[in-house]
Amino acid sequence: MLMRNHGILTVGRTPGEAFMLLYYFERAARIQLDLQASVAAGTELVIPPHDVCEKAAVSSGRARATSSLPANANGRHSCASSTGQAPITGSKPGAY
């Protein structure tokens, strides 16, 4: 839970689970900020096609039902909503 002016509250069944949830949340936030900075600097954001995202989600064990995926502004499902990971930009090698 994000608490305005307080920070993040993370709960898990074990302390280890709570830590991992917080760790991945922090990583996702850092990636999102890097992507926003890249786009602001003029780098084009590249979002893989939906079928590529689904294949990546299935191979990583994080697949979700397609019907539950929210569509982006273009009516397409984005890779970020499919896998829980941010899409890749061309700004930094290996930044994803």
Residue 84 pLDDT greater than 80, yes or no: no
Provide the domain limits for residue 66. 2-83
Look at residue 93 and tell me if it is in a domain: no
β-bridge partners, 89: 45
Mean pLDDT of all residues in 24-41 = 92
Look at residue 36 and tell me if it is in a domain: yes
Between 8-12, 28-32, 43-47, 59-63, the lowest mean confidence (pLDDT) is in 59-63
Mean pLDDT of all residues in 7-30 = 93
CB 49 within 8 A of CB 92: no
Look at residue 96 and tell me if it is in a domain: no
Look at residue 10 and tell me if it is in a domain: yes
Separation between Cα atoms, residue 50 and residue 82, nearest integer Å: 8
Look at residue 95 and tell me if it is in a domain: no
> What is residue 64's predicted lDDT score, i.e. its pLDDT?
58
Separation between Cα atoms, residue 86 and residue 84, nearest integer Å: 7
Closest residue by Cα to residue 84 from 71, 67, 69:
69
Residue 22 pLDDT greater than 60, yes or no: yes
Residue 72 pLDDT greater than 80, yes or no: no
Look at residue 89 and tell me if it is in a domain: no
Tokens at 61, concatenated = 């064990």
How many domains is the chain partitioned into structurally? 1
